Amino acid sequence: MRKTTLITGGAGYIGSHTAVALINAGHRVLVLDNLCNSCRECIARLELLTHTRVDFINGDIGDSILLDKIFSRYDIDAVVHFASLKSVEESIRKPLDYYANNVAGTLNLCRAMARHKVFNLVFSSSATVYGDPAKTPIPEDIGTGKPVNPYGRTKLMIEELLTDLCYADPRWSVGLLRYFNPIGAHESGMIGEDPSGRPNNLLPCLTQVAIGRIPELTVYGCDYPTVDGTCVRDYIHVVDLAHGHLKALEVLHEKGGINAWNLGTGVGYSVLQIIQSFEDITGISIPYRFAPRRVGDIAKCWADPRKAGRELGWTAQRDLEQMIVDTWRWQSRNPLGYRSPCVIPSLMTVK
């Protein structure tokens, strides 16, 4: 039986792009997702995009019986673990849901992996584990800080859980991938970010203004100590992020223990710079108004990505223009996300 990579949360935004990268690199993948923030249409599009049948199980990482069946039935040699709730705002209202789903769910997954002797794990962590960093760019060895919301605390708790696990049992090999701000979409325009309900992140809000679904963009804060008073972030193309997982998987097969890697570009852009770039690239003007600072936002956050460069042989390849072009292609072709009819690029060019 061919070795399989289990992708939890593989019907979601980053997981689906990583599935494409892994399939294109020759991996056999199995997607496990409970579809709480995604839909089957994403899997259908993955199949169209990769010309492959994608094994998909609609299920929950909290379901031990299901996990035992999966690990018994497939020859899994690594898990890429995206499954998580991810809304900062919701985590403040429903902390128990976040600790149960993210922390207890990961614990359950690790127990099942150990039962079936699968010890390679790539975990979706976040720059949020640095809290409000003492300096930028942020290197991994600055140490973790104090995340300012329950979502961020679940990520830090999981990192600590996985670190303890690696110290206790040298068979484990774990990559903590600390993503900065993922944006963009696959260049085909067939898969992308499809937030349910009103989005909170900058790019989904901006593109929804551009398509007329939201009347204006609210810019939170204009008095930060930054280039123009608005917050600065390290935006990274989701396809670059996906390739980082591929590299991490390759390295983890040889390298044991716990390893943290920043996945960012090393370049920061302010909110106003993002709006200006979007307008310049698409020709669409974005009405916006300033509002008070959003609780929990930090002024500046961008990565020192050199450790990932040295140890994974990975650097982000796509610049801000590409991120915006691809985000806009996805959003304009799929104004209703995955509920929009699928446009297959290769068919469009056939006369």
Q: Which residues bind ligand WQD (CB under 6 A)?
A: 86, 88, 126, 128, 152, 181, 200-202, 205, 217-220, 231, 233, 271, 294, 297
Question: Whole-angstrom Cα distance, residue 236 to residue 104?
Answer: 29
Q: Does 184 bind ligand NAD (CB under 6 A)?
A: no
Question: What's the residue count for the chain?
Answer: 351
Show Cβ contacts of residue 14 under 8 Å, excluding neighbours closer than 6 positions: 82, 124, 179, 182, 238, 241, 242
Q: Where do we find the tokens 């500046």?
A: 300
- Shortest CB 157 distance to ligand NAD, Å: 13
Q: Which residues contact 223 (CB under 8 A, 6 or more apart)?
A: 229, 293
CB nearest ligand WQD: which residue?
A: 231
Amino acid code (one letter) for 49: L
Please say whether the beta carbons of 109 and 61 come within 8 A: yes
Residue 9 makes contact with ligand NAD by CB under 6 A: yes
Nearest to ligand WQD of 67, 122 (CB atom): 122
* Partner in contact with 209, chosen from ligand WQD, ligand NAD, none, beta carbon below 5 to 8 Å by kind: none
Of 223, 227, 234, nearest to 293 (Cα)? 223
Residue 278 interacts with ligand NAD (CB under 6 A): yes or no: no
Cβ proximity to ligand WQD, 128 vs 136, nearer residue: 128
Using CB under 6 A as the binding rule, whether residue 226 contacts ligand NAD is answered as no
DSSP string, 124-154: EEEGGGG-S-SSSSBPGGG-----SSHHHHH
Closer CB to ligand NAD, 73 or 283, in the complex: 73
Q: By Cβ distance, which residue is nearest to ligand NAD? A: 12
Out of 13, 98, 151, 269, the active site residue is 151
DSSP 3-state assignment of 347? helix
Choose from ligand NAD, ligand WQD, none: what does 60 bind? Cβ within 5-8 Å by kind: ligand NAD
Which residue is associated with the tokens 């920043």?
Answer: 262
Listed ranges 29-37, 49-57, 164-172, 318-326: which one lies at the site for ligand NAD (CB under 6 A): 29-37
Q: Say which entry of ligand NAD, ligand WQD, none residue 18 contacts (CB below 5 to 8 A, set by partner kind).
A: none
Is 151 part of the annotated catalytic residue set? yes
Q: Is the dihedral of CA 38, 39, 42, 43 positive or negative?
A: positive
Pairing relationship of beta strands 55-58 and 28-33 according to DSSP bridges? parallel
82 binds, among ligand NAD, ligand WQD, none (CB under 5 to 8 A by kind): ligand NAD
Residue 171 or 339 having the CB closest to ligand NAD: 339
**DSSP, res 337:** G
Question: Catalytic residues, which ones?
Answer: 151
What is the contact surface with ligand NAD in residues (CB under 6 A)? 8-9, 11-15, 32-38, 60-62, 82-86, 101, 105, 124, 126, 179, 182
